[in-house]
Amino acid sequence: MDKSWMTINNRLTSKEYQQGVKSFLDFATANLGVDDEIRCPCVDCINGTKYSRQVVWMHLIRRGMASSYLTWVHHGEHVPVSRPSVSNDQCGGSGKCMTDIDDPSMDELPIMLEEIYVSGLMDDHTDEEPNGLEREDLHKFTRLFEDAQCKVHPTCEKFFVLSFVIKMLHVKVYNKWSNKSFDMVMQKESANLEKCPTCDACRYKLNDDGGKKIPHKVLRYFPLTPRLKRLFMSKKTTADMRWHNEKRVDDDILRHPADGEAWKDFDKQHPTFSDDSRNCMKKPYCMMSLLIPGRSAPGRDIDVYLQPLIEELKNLWEHGVQTYDASNGQIFRMHAAVMWTINDFPAYGNMSRWSTKGYLACPNCNNNASSQGLRSKIGSMGARRHLPENHTWRTSKLFNA
């Protein structure tokens, strides 16, 4: 379909532009139905609001269509992403090369892009204007589609920018490239900067004595919310997210955390949360959210590093986020909760701020500990009080020996 009319500036007098707008509206009406409202792709709405055909016509004539909206996904057009192919001649006759590696995700790339795009922009509240964050997401998805349709080189017919990046990451994992070698191939532009290009913060600590530069302690935080949302964007994984409620066999045998008493008690305390079967946990979807590089652990300062994760979890529990479910094409409000932490005893002390050594080391005894000093060590000598009341050792001081 010819879309050259989208770049015409003289919209009010150009018959070609007006005819192009009419063809676009006819295309949208044919796919969405005559009675359905149409998402307005003008430079101000950017598909964030639905209007009647007449209003969309007026917006496009007065404001113009967003030039980056090259694939009319919201109006029935599919994403034209091609899978690259390389002949055996380019592989040196080996029959195995970079593009010959089995990669089923490349075949599904058009579907994945559509699901991500629709899930990011779908909104049941079509009467509300998109806020600043939503508009930013719109632009991000628009750039994603531009990369999916932009050739790596004007003469290249095999790769688009997005498919090339995905293929390079696949080759890195498949051949076990180190991050250093991969960075050398990709040549990061910010590798040698000494100040943050965004906030202008210094990369190194101030060292008046000169010598080797000491970098600041850095926290690498991987936001949890977008990764949880992406699990529901794929039709393959969204079914697994409801497995604990729809397919799990409840026969009083502990096979999954949902079979445990803690999970069941949590469901009783928070019925609103548990009513939606999509709020769940499963082992393959465990995620790393924090990475603190360095030789030493943060110790009791761990609370400083946990702040972004805690704020994100509080927002997910109290407010939730609108998420697209690819299995049924619906929007729902996703919530998340922390039910357990798994750590060793020293880490428990840092996480809970309870001392795990000394006279009050036992978290069960709390302030009522029976610890005594034994030369250079401390021992809990009154543990027999935890025995059954009729146990013969309960009143025997020999138990302390």
Domain boundaries, the chain: 4-184, 220-338, 357-400
Question: 221-252 pLDDT, tens per residue?
Answer: 888 888 888 888 777 777 777 777 777 788 88
Higher pLDDT, 133 or 267: 267
Residue 273 in contact with residue 335, Cβ under 8 Å? yes
Paired residues of 379 in beta bridges: 372
- CB under 8 Å to 196, separation ≥6 — which residues? 203
Paired residues of 202 in beta bridges: 195
- At residue 314, φ and ψ (nearest 5 deg) are -65, -40
- At residue 352, φ and ψ (nearest 5 deg) are -95, -10
In 10 A of CB 28, how many CB atoms? Answer: 21
Span 291-296, average pLDDT? 79
pTM of the predicted structure, to 2 decimals: 0.49
Higher pLDDT, 78 or 289: 289
Distance of alpha carbon 301 from the chain centroid: 26
pLDDT at residue 135, rounded to an integer: 57
- CB under 8 Å to 278, separation ≥6 — which residues? 232, 238, 241, 242, 325, 332, 334
Dist CA 208 CA 24 (whole Å): 65
- CB under 8 Å to 88, separation ≥6 — which residues? 94, 95
| Sign (positive or negative) of CA dihedral 282, 283, 284, 289 | positive
